[in-house]
Amino acid sequence: MATVGLVEYEDGNDEVKAVYDDIKTKRNTDFINNFWKALANNPEQLKTTWEQVKRVMKPGKLDSVTKELVYIAVSVANSCEYCIHSHTASARSKGLTEEQYNELLEVIGLAHHTNGLVSTMQVEVDEVFKV
């Protein structure tokens, strides 16, 4: 149960409806996921966030799947259950294969592992990395 109510399409104001419509069009679906319905309690933030997501997550010099993998990695380290689920689903819908997922899992595990080792030993940054 969220700390805020979820705003359904029919209960949204015009600004909310416009964002929902845009989400449906851009994603070619009728489904609006809970994150947007929760954000819609503040229509301005809904719009700002959606515009930001569209701009940042579109394919650029990094492809869409790579961007989703970075998103998942951040969400895992931040323990954001919702974000992990939604962006794993998104990565798969954009073409992430199970073999790639397995490699992602290995890299995330290893990165956490060495982060822990480095943090425990408080290893100083080599000068060569600072340039």
Enumerate residues 4-33 that contact a copy of itself by CB under 8 A: 4, 31, 33
Number of residues that bind a copy of itself (CB under 8 A): 78
Q: Which of residues 51-90 bind a copy of itself (CB under 8 A)?
A: 52-53, 56-57, 60-62, 66-67, 69-86, 88-89
Q: Rounded to 10 degrees, what is the CA torsion of 19, 22, 28, 32?
A: 0
| Contact indicator for 59, 86 with CB cutoff of 8 Å | no
Q: Which of residues 100-129 bind a copy of itself (CB under 8 A)?
A: 100-126, 128-129
User: Can you tell me which of 9, 17, 18, 41 binds a copy of itself, judged by CB under 8 A?
Assistant: 41
CB of 41 to a copy of itself, least distance (A): 7
- Amino acid present at 44: E
